[in-house]
Amino acid sequence: MRRLPFLLAALLLLTGCGITPSPVTAITAAPVISTEPIWAQIYLIKKGRLTLQQVRVASKTTEDLMRTLMDLANHPVESGQDTDLYGMRYQDVDSEPLGQRTQRMDPDNKSLVLYVTLRGERELSRVALAQIVCTARMRPEIAKVQVNITRSVSPSSTSGRRTCKEFHDLAPAGAPS
């Protein structure tokens, strides 16, 4: 009797589960990591006006576009171009359909409000706000942009929903509206 459990266990190990394995079939090509750089356009400042600059971004997402714009505020940029976003840090981006907070997000919706949240203690200048809004509006799905600033000392603030058209005096010809 003592040998019976051992014999049963050995028998089970030898017989397996009774299912024969199927051959491996490749459905698509294996995923490959691309080392090709991804480029996007952002707005920097030259002589007090917005100017387009092509920069390398981590991905094509709006989040990476905004993160890259904000990172340039703390790093040197090309000679003659500048940014007025110094002292501000990227915190978050979120989006929703324009005018409908409760509607389900539809990836094909071409009229989204982008909420950009920054951390910093200062107020954004008009040209800094134009940099963010016009850069975000380069994405065809973004209709309006709202910049929110969280502060640790003074109260937080919001820019309201903006379009690049409001900064027509700062933007170059052909800028998104």
Read off the pLDDT of residues 66-102 as tens digits, 9 standing for 90 and up. 999 998 877 756 656 788 888 889 999 999 987 655 4
CA 137 from centroid of its chain's CA atoms: 13
Mean local confidence (pLDDT), 2-31: 71
Average per-residue pLDDT for the chain:
83
Residues 6+ apart with CB under 8 A from 69: 42, 43, 83, 85, 131, 132, 135
Helices (H), the chain: 3-15, 62-71, 126-136
The pLDDT score that the predictor gives to residue 102 is 47
Report the C-alpha gap between 140 and 114 in whole angstroms: 12
Q: Above 60 in pLDDT, residue 114?
A: yes
Q: Above 90 in pLDDT, residue 12?
A: no
The pLDDT score that the predictor gives to residue 170 is 92
168 vs 108: which has the higher pLDDT: 168
Report the C-alpha gap between 120 and 35 in whole angstroms: 34
CB 112 within 8 A of CB 133: no
Q: pTM here? A: 0.73
